[in-house]
Structures are given as structure tokens and as C-alpha cells.
């Protein structure tokens, strides 16, 4: 009986960790962080580790129409692979939600500074503006 109670108590203590609240992150996007010095933007990203979903709102200005936008894995100043694709803000803004793996949602929520938002356009196919995620 004592073992059952200990097991139940352990499970109850772990439950809040598994059902974590969504984490809202922000990124200030700038051309100076990438290649288009005139470009600016902002991203609000909500990571839900229960639903394994990343929702975003992205606004940009001072750049030619966007062709792609993503979250990449990579520290400030480093390039890395795409981990979450966004709909490009072709008219200056976009928003939506994208499914991700449990590993990706946990990693972004736990270490947001290891990830950045990058917006690309025809003039700057490797990225026009970018910003690191942070709380």
C-alpha cells in the first residue's frame, strides 16, 4: 500500500510538468541582424508543448514582399536549419499555427535563445531580416 501511495504521489507531482502552460516568446526582427539594413519586424510566438503546436503573428516593414519565413535553430549570428515554417508575410503580416514534434516544442520553449525567426525575400534569399526568440 505504501508503494502505491508513493507511486501516486510521484505521478501527481509530475503532472504539472507534462501539462505546462503555453510559452509566449517575442523576437524583434532587423535587417542589421541579417542583410537588409532597412527592414524591421516583430514576431510573437506561442509554443504549446501539450498540443505540440507553434502559433505565430509576424509583421514586417521596409522589405520587398516576403517569399518565406521560418523559425531556425541557431544562436545569434549563426545560421541553422529550419524547424518551423511560417506562411510568409507577403502583405506585411501573417499569422497561424503549425504542428511540431514534441522534441521541437520542448526545445523552443526551454531554450528560446537557441532559435531565431528569419524572413526571406527575392532580393535576400538567405534572409532579409531576423531576430532571436526570447521571453
> Which residues have C-beta within 8 Å of that of residue 84, sequence separation ≥ 6?
54, 56, 70, 71, 98, 100, 104, 108
> Which residues have C-beta within 8 Å of that of residue 5, sequence separation ≥ 6?
none
> Which residues have C-beta within 8 Å of that of residue 70, sequence separation ≥ 6?
82, 83, 84, 85, 86, 117, 118
Decide: 20 and 109 in contact? Cβ < 8 Å. Answer: yes
pLDDT of residue 75: 94
* Model-wide pTM > 0.85: no
Q: Could you tell me the residue ranges of all domains in the chain?
A: 20-132
Q: Which architecture characterizes domain 20-132 according to CATH?
A: Sandwich (2.60)
What pLDDT digit, counting tens, does each position of 56-111 carry? 999 999 999 999 999 999 999 899 999 999 999 999 999 999 999 999 999 999 99
pLDDT of residue 32: 75
What pLDDT digit, counting tens, does each position of 27-58 carry? 999 987 666 678 999 999 999 999 999 999 99
Amino acid at each position: 500500500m505504501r508503494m502505491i501511495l508513493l507511486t501516486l504521489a510521484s505521478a501527481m507531482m509530475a503532472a504539472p510538468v507534462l501539462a505546462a502552460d503555453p510559452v509566449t516568446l517575442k523576437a524583434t526582427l532587423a535587417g542589421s541582424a541579417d542583410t537588409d539594413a532597412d527592414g524591421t519586424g516583430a514576431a510573437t510566438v506561442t509554443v504549446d508543448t501539450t498540443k505540440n503546436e507553434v502559433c505565430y503573428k509576424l509583421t514586417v516593414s521596409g522589405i520587398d514582399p516576403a517569399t518565406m519565413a521560418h523559425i531556425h535553430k541557431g544562436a545569434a549570428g549563426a545560421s541553422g536549419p529550419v524547424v518551423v515554417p511560417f506562411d510568409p508575410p507577403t502583405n506585411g503580416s501573417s499569422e497561424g499555427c503549425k504542428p511540431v514534434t514534441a522534441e521541437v516544442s520542448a526545445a523552443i520553449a526551454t531554450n528560446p535563445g537557441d532559435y531565431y525567426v528569419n524572413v526571406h525575400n527575392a532580393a535576400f534569399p538567405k534572409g532579409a531580416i531576423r531576430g532571436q526568440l526570447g521571453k
